[in-house]
Structure 1
Amino acid sequence: MNWAAFEEKLAPSLGETLHIEGAKSVMGGDICKAFELHTSQGKFFLKTHSLSFYDLFQAEQFNLQALAETNSIAVPKAIASGTFDKQAWLLLEFIDMHDSGDDFQRGRDLALLHHHVNDSAKPFGWSHDNFIGLTPQHNTWHSDWIEFYREMRLKPQLRLAAQRGMANHVIEKAWQLIDKIEFWFRDYQPQASLLHGDLWGGNSAFSRDGDALIFDPACYYGDHETDIAMSELFGGFSAAFYAGYQDVFPLDHGYPQRKPLYNLYHLLNHYNLFGGHYQQQAESLIQTLLAQAK
């Protein structure tokens, strides 16, 4: 990266002349290159990738700004995104992140986020399509949550899994499951809560002061249980987190039965991204769900 030339690219977003004094390569997730920028205006966090990531970075910037506007749970401030020197980039506030902090309050903060609901005629969806990992995530507005989850979440991942070589018998069982999806909503009609959308332990941390943060979102309005279900899928959240959440937004008694249905979306996506044993995990969830629906 030509840092001297990049300074001029950043200047309009930061409101004054910026001098980059140093750039330290840091961990930026599994995909992007990332840098801790030391500048005349302090530290910033910069993510870069190929030009094909421009839409992804724009979506991330929009989502972080939407989450920040709720004043519920902290997120890194998204400053700007763009392209430069055949690369896409996203500039964020730099936060010194840590693994430990007040997990009870983190649960409460997430519950406060989920209390931001959309009460329009078609409340489920999002104003922009975005990404779940590297997979496009379509968010066309729907009036009905079941229809949205079936058409915008499960079916696209299942079609992609078939293209990626998932075993036919697993695909067939999954389609049987989709035909029975109403079973899990016989006495449950969720509100359209503002969601993080990709809430695993690697997308949440604490500041130096112990305050909770979330980042790398895949936002939309949907059932708040989906965020909680994913938080349990890969771990990283303590019992105190769930106690804090329940203190503000108690889960419906049917959540344990819906949890595997919601996590199926993420397991199918992980199969589509990484292959391997995620097929077996998805098949196991499908069998569990079909057994419930008998």
Structure 2
Amino acid sequence: MHHRLRCAGLSNDSGSIAVEPPFKFSAALAQAILHASGVDVARATFDPVSGGSINMAYRVGVGDQSFFLKRNRADALPMFEAEADGLAALAAIGAFRIPRVLGCGATDDDAFLLLEHLDLRPLASDEDGLRFAEALAQLHHDTGAHYGWPRDNFIGRTPQINTESDGWARFFILHRLTPQLERARAKGYAGALGRDADALLERVPGLFVDYRPPPSLLHGDLWNGNAAIDDTGRPAIFDPAVYRGDRDADLAMSELFGGFPHSFYVAYRRAWPMAEGYEQRKTLYNLYHVLNHLNLFGRGYLGQAERMVRGLYQELRR
């Protein structure tokens, strides 16, 4: 999802958020956080952190310690559980600084995710790009036997199906593009999505006749707002939508909303050169994210989605 990096710590989720009223938490929520994490927030300070439209987020001060709290309605617990699972998977590789999950749970009214608070800054210098590229190549070299993931998760607040598959093209068609196209049609966004999308899906396997990517561990939502450098100079990532797939999908997403420093792309390609056909695959993979933005945020993304569908279809029919 399109997020904003928070100068106070982590990014949260997509879009923008109105000014948050003073945080009022119940005794039940404080008790649930204490039970899940061992952190007593009964007398904590809560500073709202702006920049997202899905969750409410706070920098939590307990004595001389700081934490990062995400809060939502109780029915958002599966989203937080999936995020915790993804952060744990990324942390296990050791390539990036990942915010440590301290607790996750819900009361009758609220779901929450309590994380380690990190002091972060955006990627800016050539050195930042180089370090981030080396870490990402290390992450992508962690490969599995199947595409997908043992559990479903979320891309923003959209459910993301991860049923494991032995075929990458089949996985991407069935579990990425098709659900987003069905949502778009249900919302009334037909046009070129209706005319060309089905024909495009029929031709997608042709992109992968001679290209069989290994099932790399992916961040899954790798735009520059979910990437940072910590206060020690180490690359950091957060807000994942993890699964195993073509590493090009992460690289493609990194170019979609502003991109990373040029040094990142040079260093990544030096560490692990891209296979022929990346430009076509990039458009295909980013179509998933543009469709998701269309479904979440509305008609402002329709023209871009239509152009991507039409352009890919024209290229693949040649």
TM-score, length basis structure 1: 0.93
1: distance between equivalents of 2:108 and 2:233? 37
Q: Residues 59-138 of structure 1: matches in 2 within 5 Å?
A: 59-84=82-107, 86-100=109-123, 102-119=128-145, 123-138=146-161
Moved more, 143-152 or 179-188: 179-188
Alignment equivalent of 2:176, drawn from 153, 160, 163: 153
CA contact (8 A) 2:33 2:39 kept: no
Take 1:146 and 1:284, find their aligned partners in 2: how far apart are those partners? 21
- Amino acid of the residue matched to residue 113 of structure 2? L
Residue number in structure 2 paired with 1:276: 299
Other structure's SS at 2:255 match: helix
The yes-or-no answer on 1:242 pairing with 2:268 is no
Distance 1:274 1:159, change over 3 A: same
Shift in alpha-carbon separation, 1:248–1:19, aligned structure 2, 3 A: farther
Quote the residue 1:205 is aligned against. Answer: 228
> Relative to 1, partners in 2 of residues 1:180 and 1:15: Cα closer, same or farther, differing over 3 Å?
same
Could you say which residue in structure 2 is the equivalent of 1:42? 65
Q: Is the CA contact 1:201–1:236 (under 8 Å) kept in the aligned structure 2?
A: yes
1:177 corresponds in structure 2 to 200
**1:277 counterpart SS class:** helix
Select which of 27, 51, 58 maps to 2:81: 58
Inter-partner Cα distance in structure 1 for 2:210 and 2:86: 31
Distance across 2 between alignment mates of 1:18 and 1:157 = 39
The verdict on how the C-alpha distance between 1:169 and 1:3 changes in structure 2, with shifts beyond 3 A counting, is closer
- Residue type at the aligned position of 1:213: A
C-alpha distance in 2 between matches for 1:37 and 1:234: 29
For the residue of structure 2 that corresponds to 1:75, the secondary structure is: coil
Q: Which residue of 1 aligns with 2:287?
A: 264
- Are the equivalent residues in 2 in contact too, given 1:108–1:247 (CA < 8 A)? no
- Give the partner amino acid of 2:101: A
135-144 vs 203-212, which deviates more?
Answer: 203-212
From 279, 291, 294, give the equivalent of 2:314: 291
Counterpart of 1:142, as a letter, is: S
Cα gap change, 1:206 to 1:175, in 2 (>3 Å)? same
State the alpha-carbon separation in 2 of the partners of residues 53 and 284 from structure 1. Answer: 34
Equivalent pairs: percent with the same residue? Answer: 41
SS in structure 1 of the partner of residue 113 of structure 2: strand
Residue identity matched to 1:265: Y
SS in 2 for 1:291: helix
State the AA in 1 paired with 2:263: A
Is the Cα–Cα contact under 8 Å of residues 26 and 35 in structure 1 kept in the other structure? yes
CA drift of 1:242 comes to: 1.1
State the SS of the aligned residue for 1:76.
Answer: coil
Q: Distance in 2 between matches of 1:149 and 1:125?
A: 9
Total equivalences in the alignment: 291
How far off its partner does 1:133 sit? 1.1
- Cα distance per residue 1:95-114 (max 9 Å; x no partner): 11212451211111111111
Q: 2:21 matched to which residue of 1? A: none
1:28-66 CA-partner distances (Å, limit 9, x unpaired): 523211111111471100010111211101100111011
- Paired with 2:49 and 2:221, the residues of 1 have a C-alpha distance of 22
Distance 2:107 2:210 in 1: 52
Pairwise CA distance, 1:9: 2.5
Q: Which residue of 1 aligns with 2:6?
A: none
Which runs of 5 or more residues in structure 1 are unaligned? none
Contact 1:45–1:91 (CA under 8 A) maintained in structure 2: yes
Distance 1:28 1:156, change over 3 A: same
TM-score (normalizing by structure 2): 0.86
Q: Residues 17 and 88 (structure 1 numbering): CA distance in 2 closer, same or farther, change over 3 Å?
A: closer
